Amino acid sequence: MPELTDRIADIVGRLDAVVFDQWGVLHNGSTAYAGAADALHTLHRQGKKLAVLSNSGKRADANRDRIAAMGLPAELFDLVMTSGEAFWQDCQSGRVVMGRVFPITAKPGDFETWRGPLPIREAGDVLEANSVLLMGLPEGSDGSTEASVLKTARSCGLPLYCTNPDRGSPRAGGAIQLSPGALAHAYQDAGGEVTFYGKPHLPVFDALTDALGTDPAKILMVGDSLEHDIAGGASAGWQTAFVMGGLHADAFVDADAQAALERLAAAHASPLPDYMISHLASPGA
């Protein structure tokens, strides 16, 4: 059974590196969680390598800036890796050739910022495209507008690249925002061709293991998604710590923590984590 702990300090002594998910662990999309900055400073003083591994369609630098803007000490991270960054690198290297792409994004300008100098052509209409890039959804979106576009894309046989496999993301007040992965899985279930970038898919974990230059067994993945963080970290041979106060917080209200976790793991076909913690808090607290 997973070890229930109140302090990260109790479990990091045997480890070299700690990798954090963003939403539901470090912040809620707008505000850093209490204790998160203290935890990062303490781990850094203990000599641990720190990294972020996020299912964000945006590039790594944009996410480092977002973390810093919330008052978190982004300079302490040895590496920030996102699914959007991994996809950009594959496009740059030629491993992925999308042709004329129709992007679906959270905000206007997100695609242009992500693309940068890449020679990728943007289609003004999905009917003019030969691929679709699903990066994000507008805040508050129920996905209906995007689902309609994707229905047309699927009828045209267009391949879909999804750079945020999350199905939902925590927000302030316990709300859960629909995320691109939900639409991408529906596209796939309906017979569409989908390529996912990010957690739980093994390549992004292997790339981060190589970049950190340490034994996979000495890396801790701290996340709130059993489907993405815990299953992906376990498949990479990492240690895993599940944050109960994030994406699945409602499942632990007035419930036995171990029993609730077992039910969730079964529902998501996920292995159990090595550790459980309520929220990310200062290791010295």
pLDDT at 98 over 90: no
Q: Which single residue is written with the structure tokens 């279930």?
A: 189
Interaxial angle between packed helices 202-212 and 83-93, expressed in degrees from 0 to 180 and rounded to the nearest 10: 90
Mean pLDDT of 126-149: 96
Q: What is the reported pTM?
A: 0.86
By the 8 A CB rule, do 92 and 118 touch? yes
What per-residue confidence (pLDDT) applies to 281? 67
Q: Which of 64-68, 141-145, 228-232, 246-250 has the lowest mean pLDDT?
A: 246-250
C-alpha 218/C-alpha 168 separation (Å) is: 29
By the 8 A CB rule, do 47 and 41 touch? no
C-alpha 111/C-alpha 92 separation (Å) is: 15
Q: How many CB atoms lie within 10 A of CB 178?
A: 19
DSSP 32: B
Mean pLDDT of 225-237: 96
C-alpha 99/C-alpha 17 separation (Å) is: 38
Antiparallel, parallel or unpaired: β 176-178 and 3-4: unpaired
Sheet strands (E) in the chain: 3-4, 17-20, 49-54, 79-82, 100-104, 121-122, 131-134, 160-162, 168-170, 176-178, 194-196, 219-223, 239-243, 275-277
pLDDT at 37 over 80: yes
CB crowding 192-209: b at 16 or more within 10 Å, else e: bebbbbbbbbeebbebbb
Q: What is the pLDDT of residues 45-77, one digit of tens each?
A: 999 999 999 999 999 999 999 999 999 999 999
Q: How confident is the model at residue 124 (pLDDT cuts 50, 70, 90)?
A: very high
What residues contact residue 195 under an 8 Å CB cut-off, 6+ apart?
A: 96, 159, 160, 161, 162
Residue 238, Ramachandran bin (φ over 0: left; ψ between -120 and 50: alpha; else beta):
beta
Give bridge partners of residue 276 from the DSSP assignment: 4, 242
Host H or E run for residue 45: helix 36-45
Nearest Cα to 17, choosing from 39, 43, 56, 54?
43
What per-residue confidence (pLDDT) applies to 279? 87
Cα 40 to Cα 12, 103, 230, distances in angstroms: 12, 35, 20
Q: How confident is the model at residue 282 (pLDDT cuts 50, 70, 90)?
A: very low
pLDDT at 5 over 90: no
What separation, in Å, do the N-terminal and C-terminal C-alpha atoms of the chain show? 25
Mean pLDDT of 7-16: 84
